Amino acid sequence: MDTLHAHLEALFDDLELVIGWETGYEPLRPTPAFLRSREDLSRLVWNPLCAPNLSVYLPGILKDAKETGKKIGVCLKGCDSRSLGALVQEGFVERERLYVVGLPCPGTVDPEALAEARKSSAPVTHVSFRDGLLAITSRDGTEEIELERVLARRCRRCRHPNPLHADVILGDPVPPRRTEPSFSDVDAVEAMSLEERRAYWEEELSRCLRCYACRNACPLCVCRDRCLAESRTPKWTTQRDGVRDKFLFHMIHALHLAGRCTECGECERVCPVGIPVALFKEKMARIALELWDYQAGTDPAATPPLQTFDPSETGI
Amino acid sequence: MSEKNERQLRIVGFLCNWCSYGGADTAGVCRFKQPPLLRIIRIPCTGRMDPLFVVKALAQGADGVLVSGCHPKDCHYAVGNFYARRRLELVKRFLPFVGLDPRRFHYTWVSASEGQRWQEVVTEFSAVIQELGPNPGIGADTPMETAGQAASAFA
Amino acid sequence: MRIGVFVCQCGTNIAGTVDTRAVAQRALDYPDVVFATDYMYTCSEPGQQEIQNAIAEHRLQGVVVAACSPRMHEPTFRRAVEKAGLNRYMFEMANIREHVSWIGQDRAANTLKAMELVRMAVEKLRRNEPLFASEVPINKRVLVIGGGVAGIQAALDCADAGLDVVLVEREQSIGGKMAKLDKTFPTIDCSSCILGPKMVDVAQKENITLHAYSEVESVSGYIGNFTVKIRKKATYVDWDACTGCGLCMEKCPSKKTVDRFNEALGVTTAIQIPFPQAIPKKARIQKDACRYFTTGKCKVCQKICPTGAVHYDMEDREVVEEVGAIIVATGYDLFDPAPYGEYGAGRYPDVITGIQFERILSASGPFGGHVKRPSDGKEPKDIVFVACVGSRDKSVDRPYCSGICCMYIAKQAILARDHLPGVNCYVFYMDIRSPGKNYDEFVRRAIEEYGVQYIRGRVGKIYPNGDRMVVQGADTLLGAQVEVEADLVVLATGVESSRGAKELAEKLRISYDQYGFYMESHPKLRPVETNTAGVYLAGACQGPKDIPASVAQGSAAAAKVLALFARDTIATDPQVAGVLESACIGCGKCLSVCPFGAIQWKTLRDGSRKADVLETVCQGCGLCNATCPPKAIQLRHFTDDQILAELDALCA
């Protein structure tokens, strides 16, 4: 934390803006911070509650930013940095306009798991993190909770805790929880029969509000307010409140992420009704891996597999 | 015709104009008999084929979806089917994950001269669909409201 | 919309197994259908009249014909509705013959299927929009890239037809590889005697502009209207002034310059005219060999030149040519045998390539046409030819057959025997490929009349023994190892794509295969077209080819250009992609997948970039449409909504 502040402090004259996290309405929920003055830097926080993937803001901010010659500083976790890689691959972000502060990430917290693990339910006044332990302070005192117990699903399968494509890495490297791609949650769905899977998704998706939070949080959902799911011409979905249209929206999202998803899990994290929507994209990522040995966002020079072809490909 | 309460099975075909649509024509000209399940939508190239069409058709209860184009390396537009086969294979592998039966989706390559092959493709795929029976689709809370059903009233 | 539906009985072709009346009756229940009927032969003159009458009587705005395949009669009916005042795209066909009546006997099932196909056609038609072809004027000038025999043929044919031709040649002279050949198979006629007059023709035609020692820098625009930037490389000699007298070459003191035209078998001067028949016959200074450029002192050529043509301060110059079509005839290069270390090319002076031997045979070559070996100038007594060096060999990434080597080996062996009647010629070969007119007879002559000894097998190793070379190989017919001693070994190096072929392809936006050969539009039916409208191919740039095939393609490409230029404008097919700018997110995915380079960026006043379709270039495949995430780019007449309407008509 201190290194983060000190590092940005020293560099601040060369930066137009710093994107990081700050304490939100409570310390449990850090929110994205967009800092333009040196004094504001002190507001930055960095701990396992800093869940939002900040790369989602980069295309819009770079588009609107004036060319001052100054760079835009951004703090990225490992998974966030893969999203940046994919955005660079697709030309949405000019890497040279950024100053990327890579933060090796011990994992992020699943808020529901944390709420269950806490003994107290009093409002939190302070949070700190050290040696795998979260220290949560409220008027009931400070309780220590192992991060591993309250880890978000996405972080349990994380292979990239250490940021890629960064200008600087602040902090010691974190040993990855996984060295090989892990799709155990996808496997769990696939263990069901076809009929059960259909029923499972119909049940899960029946809760969908079509609030589009999953889409808005997705760094690779580059259509933004031009989303096909809301388009009148062409009209792929209706506004009818039925499972079929909800399903179609999620299929649009999943197919648009095919061969592009960097598995940051933001879509699922932000879902207000707890639908495991990231599983669709994890399945897509697995197919891309199987078919083309491709992992989005790891190589900024690579072409996404659906944007190219190989005449010598056989078996498909 | 089938009993009134047994829904007529339907396969939606997406055929490229240059090869497979021609192949289906050739099969017709040669009077190669085929089961009557298939309804063909003509598209210029399988490169036009958005995988979403497949998902939407199956979600809406199409009993089968058949996509056919020029053989790879023979695309009228040179590379359209090279892109298409990646997209189609991807969606084929994805369907079962969301509970859609991948056997209901088939993609293949048939040239304009391959009338016989077209007959085989349609016959085999129709048999698969007959075997599988009606597709419930996803979220079948929408009443069928189509020509399909209205027309079933005939005969 | 007011829609009319016409169900064709096609005699009994359809009516035999489809209740056409019931299909027409059912159509009246579909939205917007105000008229429906069945008719015996809808495509007949009275049938078409019936449609036209109904359009007038029922004020129809769209027509569906349920009949045969649209591949058969769509143009017919489009013309019919157009005559009655409708836009030709306000028409749809339901194929109830090839796809229904001819493939099933079950009348009830067929009738149901026909009804559904009509319903699909009606739903599609309801989303159709009138489309209009636009006309784009054609600039009737043609650019030919490459002045080998294919390019020369194309340029002359176009010029003979009265076109303005721009011919760009990378080297100092046109003529290409053929200009280096001594004789040609299977007629043994002199290469420069048949090529020379054509080269002279190029120089003399007033409507051919020749840019020699020039390269295409960039290409923009599209069929009918290309803008081509050409870089004229500095020659340090003003070619308008140079008369080609050759005095400079006599006096130039740098006489040890490697003679590239003679495949490094001889030397030339720093200021040079590559060969006596060169077109244009102008001198050029090779900078790295010139004394003035390397030491700062000399200027002999400048002093001696009678017309004062030498200018050491000359720089590359760019010219811009506007043309309506482009013929690419960039030819090929020969495989560099260096990867075959066991053959010793480059290490042993008497192991040479086929093209080097061609220069040795030539009367204007380094030895004046006397067959001598490079090392000591002795006449060889034994010559070994090795076939397939860089052909049909996956280990050097050249799995393809170069097509010409079997023939040129036979020719060179015959010529060697003609020059030196006592010489023994041996050929190591894999198979003999001679499928041209009089080709196999020619090879037979080499074997039977000229006594050339053919040994079927690969050469394993070539090594020196005294002043001779030992060629070690297998004779697969005898099943034995053989060793042949030779004074000279000729490696029949294969054909590969021209140096820089891929870079040029990128500029032209034409596709190339993994070996750098350009891809024709269709391997059988469109052999000289590319998928970029207005760009044509001729000769070995498309794949290995001999002279007759290259010349034929030169003429074929010229014919394509003449057919294109026979009209003053190009009508563009309106079934092309269009961009809804407000929905375009500027992601560029459509640009990257378009096989035709038909999409480019357009910058709006607010600085945002949007995809923009060049309607004359778009071929209407719809790949962009399928790729576009927000579906801002739509293929007209096959839009998402139109296809979804057909789908929804079946299941929703």
Coil vs helix vs strand at C226: strand
Residue B3, pLDDT score: 35
CA-nearest of C546, C541, C543 to C410 is: C546
Please indicate, yes or no, whether residues C511 and C482 belong to a single structural domain of this protein: no
Bigger pLDDT: A145 vs B73: A145
Q: Which of A135-139, B148-152, C533-537 has the lowest mean pLDDT?
A: B148-152
**Residue C171 · residue C257 · CB < 8 Å:** no
Question: What are the tens digits of pLDDT across the range C277-299?
Answer: 999 999 999 999 999 999 999 99
Q: With a cut of 60, say whether residue B151 has pLDDT above it.
A: no
Please indicate, yes or no, whether residues C33 and C99 belong to a single structural domain of this protein: yes
CA-nearest of A175, A283, A174, A263 to A220 is: A263
Please indicate, yes or no, whether residues C323 and C181 belong to a single structural domain of this protein: yes
Out of B86, B91, B100, the one facing A309 most closely (by C-beta) is B86
Out of A189, A236, A288, the one facing B97 most closely (by C-beta) is A189
Domain boundaries, chain B: 11-152
Question: What are the tens digits of pLDDT across the range A51-62?
Answer: 999 999 999 999
- Inside any domain, residue C572: no
- Inside any domain, residue C641: no
| C581 contacts chain A (CB < 8 A) | no
Secondary structure letter of residue C532 according to DSSP: S
Rounded distance, CA C455 to CA C432, Å?
A: 11
Residue A315, pLDDT score: 62
**Residue C468 · residue C485 · CB < 8 Å:** yes
Question: What integer best gives the mean pLDDT of chain A?
Answer: 95
Residue B5, pLDDT score: 39
Band of residue B148 on the pLDDT scale cut at 50, 70, 90: very low
Overall average pLDDT of the C121-144 stretch: 96
Band of residue A316 on the pLDDT scale cut at 50, 70, 90: low
CA angle centred on C511, ends C508 and C515, rounded to 5°: 115
Overall average pLDDT of the C331-356 stretch: 96
Find chains touching chain C: ≥3 CB pairs under 8 Å.
A, B
Please indicate, yes or no, whether residues C176 and C264 belong to a single structural domain of this protein: no
Please indicate, yes or no, whether residues C12 and C155 belong to a single structural domain of this protein: no
Coil vs helix vs strand at C234: coil
Between helices C354-361 and C405-419, what is the axis angle to 10°?
A: 30
pTM for the predicted model, two decimal places = 0.75
Q: Which residues make beta-bridge pairs with C489? A: C351, C384
Rounded distance, CA C488 to CA C352, Å?
A: 8
- Inside any domain, residue C162: yes
| B143 contacts chain A (CB < 8 A) | no
Q: Is the ipTM of this complex over 0.90?
A: yes
Question: What are the tens digits of pLDDT across the range A157-180?
Answer: 999 999 999 999 999 999 999 999
Overall average pLDDT of the C383-399 stretch: 96
Band of residue B149 on the pLDDT scale cut at 50, 70, 90: very low
**Which percentage of chain C shows pLDDT scores above 70?**
100
Cβ contact (<8 Å) for A251 and B98?
Answer: yes
Please indicate, yes or no, whether residues C483 and C532 belong to a single structural domain of this protein: no
Please indicate, yes or no, whether residues C357 and C445 belong to a single structural domain of this protein: yes
Secondary structure letter of residue C348 according to DSSP: B
Chain B 104-143, CB below 8 Å of chain C: which residues? 119, 137, 142
Cβ contact (<8 Å) for B147 and C650?
Answer: yes
Kindly report the CATH class assigned to B11-152.
alpha beta
Q: Which residues make beta-bridge pairs with C141? A: C164
Cβ contact (<8 Å) for B155 and C595?
Answer: no
Distance from CA of C18 to the nearest CA of B (A): 12
Give the ranges where C363-459 is alpha helix by DSSP (H): 405-419, 439-448
Residue C109, pLDDT score: 96
Domain count, chain C: 5
Cβ contact (<8 Å) for C592 and A223?
Answer: no
Please indicate, yes or no, whether residues C183 and C327 belong to a single structural domain of this protein: yes
Please indicate, yes or no, whether residues C299 and C422 belong to a single structural domain of this protein: no
| A92 contacts chain C (CB < 8 A) | yes
Band of residue C510 on the pLDDT scale cut at 50, 70, 90: confident
Q: H or E stretch including A205?
A: helix A194-206
SS (H, E, C) A266-279: HHHHHCCCCCCCHH
Size of interface B-C (CB pairs under 8 A): 169
The backbone region for C344, taken as left when phi is positive above 0, alpha when psi lies in -120 to 50, beta otherwise, is left
Range of the domain at C177: 141-233+316-331+498-565
Cβ contact (<8 Å) for C651 and B12?
Answer: yes
Residue A1, pLDDT score: 63
Cβ contact (<8 Å) for C646 and B35?
Answer: no
CA-nearest of C449, C446, C382 to C411 is: C446
Question: What are the tens digits of pLDDT across the range C513-529?
Answer: 889 999 888 778 889 99
Please indicate, yes or no, whether residues C386 and C477 belong to a single structural domain of this protein: yes
Rounded distance, CA C427 to CA C452, Å?
A: 7
Rounded distance, CA C201 to CA C218, Å?
A: 28
Rounded distance, CA C521 to CA C511, Å?
A: 9
- Inside any domain, residue C504: yes
Question: What integer best gives the mean pLDDT of chain C?
Answer: 96
**Residue A54 · residue A76 · CB < 8 Å:** yes
Please indicate, yes or no, whether residues C450 and C535 belong to a single structural domain of this protein: no
Please indicate, yes or no, whether residues C158 and C282 belong to a single structural domain of this protein: no
